[in-house]
Homo-oligomer: A and B are copies of this chain.
Amino acid sequence: MGVILSEDFLKVKRVPERAVSDRDQLFQILDAGKIIHIGFVDDNHPVVIPLAYVRDGERILLHGSTGSRLFRTLAAGAQLCATVTLLDGIVAARSAFNSSMNYRSVLIFGKATLLSDEYKDEALEKFTNNLIPERWQEVRKMTNKEKAATMVLSVPLETISGKVRVGGPADEEDSDLELPIWAGHIPIISVYGEPIAAENLSDDIDVPQSIKNMK
């Protein structure tokens, strides 16, 4: 079902846009993102919520509060569609019609399952290091109270599809190609700014290597 849906909604329309079915490439897109949009149906109404996520092999992990209605709904087995989109650039075509954006996206269809308590430390290590590589070894670990307040969900990467647009504009007509109009694309790059220390941080604590490494 999910595969049919996604192939239908994500079918390739023209050359610079292409469906991606290679799992390694889909996983690379998931590994490059930080935010996933979780869609589910609540009382016949669609709801789309942004969440943090991390890929863990053949699944993604989500974490939230045990008091969250969203997490309780997902843990109860609601069908979901989880989408990650990375914006890579603006495409300036000679025509308004062919103006576009470069992006990479992955859709995941399925259901979440609740991870048991014994995997919560491992999951939070993955979340922490996904935000800042090697950060886990520096931070204070979870207390039992924090563990009890945290729900970790797993969504299998079984029914997934992707779509990628790369490169320049799709102008094809000779009459367009002969126009004296600049065409090309402008990459969009996300960069980290300088770390900003917390207001209540002691002056004698230096920025750690993990955060210096973020470029």
**Residues in chain A within 8 A of chain B (CB atoms):** 1-2, 5, 8-10, 13, 34-35, 37-50, 52, 65, 69-70, 79-83, 85, 87, 89-97, 99-101, 103, 105, 107, 109, 124-125, 127-128, 131-132, 135-136, 138-143, 146, 150, 168-169, 171, 176-177, 179-202, 205-208, 211, 214
Contact = CB atoms under 8 A, between A and B. Distances in A.
8 tightest A-B contacts by CB? Answer: A187-B193, A39-B48, A39-B39, A50-B85, A39-B46, A37-B37, A168-B198, A48-B83
Given A41-B41, A97-B150, A46 B49 contact: no
B192 A140 contact: no
Contact of A97 (B2, B124, B201): B124
Contacts of A96: 124-125, 127-128, 136, 139-142
Specify the main secondary structure of chain A where it touches its partner: mixed
